[in-house]
Amino acid sequence: MTTAPAGPVVGKLSTLDRFLPVWIVIAMAGGLLLGRWVPGLNTALEKVQIDGISLPIALGLLVMMYPVLAKVRYDRLDTVTSDRRMLISSLLLNWVLGPALMFTLAWVMLPDLPEYRTGLIIVGLARCIAMVIIW
């Protein structure tokens, strides 16, 4: 089996895309440093809520998700759903087998920790959790 050289693909990526892991680490470090060095930041962010929903988090999620969702090609939806066998197998794997497997793993691995077990089951039920759709 031969593999194609990675050079042309990397050359097509923008600087932002090429160094995405670096930007993520920088953002995480920046958040940790801000939390450590700016004493009232946590309290100030907790006060910016609308009906119990953190406004900075809601705006951050919107900024991250909108560009990806705006690129969805809804005009090709008919070609995606035309292969019935693929559609049915995808639905079964994602909405039956995946949650059943996560439920089983949660009970086998965490029989004495109901809080963690419940969290693991919810992660299994919520497809595309952890912002998989963004990445």
- Does any domain span residue 31? yes
Burial tier of 106 (Cβ tally within 10 Å: 0-12, 13-18, 19+): buried
pLDDT at 61: 85
Vertex 79 angle, CA 78 and 84, to 5°? 90
How far apart are alpha carbons 109 and 94 in whole angstroms? 21
Q: Per the structure block, which two tokens stand in for 104?
A: 């089983």
H helix intervals, the chain: 7-12, 15-18, 20-37, 41-47, 55-70, 77-81, 84-92, 98-109, 114-125
Residues 39 and 62 in one domain: yes
How far apart are alpha carbons 2 and 62 in whole angstroms? 41
Per-residue pLDDT of the chain (135 residues; tens, 9 = 90+): 555 555 677 778 888 788 888 988 999 999 999 989 998 988 888 889 988 888 988 898 888 788 777 777 778 888 878 888 988 998 899 889 988 999 999 999 999 999 999 988 888 887 766 555 455
Residues 27 and 62 in one domain: yes
Strand partners, 53: 50
Residues 90 and 64 in one domain: no
- Does any domain span residue 49? yes
How far apart are alpha carbons 105 and 117 in whole angstroms? 9
Q: 115 is in which domain, residue-wise?
A: 84-127
Residues 63 and 102 in one domain: no
Residues 68 and 31 in one domain: yes
pLDDT at 38: 93
Residues 123 and 88 in one domain: yes
Q: Per the structure block, which two tokens stand in for 66?
A: 């909108």
Residues 68 and 96 in one domain: no
- Does any domain span residue 107? yes
Number of domains in the chain: 2
Which residue do the tokens 């497997």 mark?
101
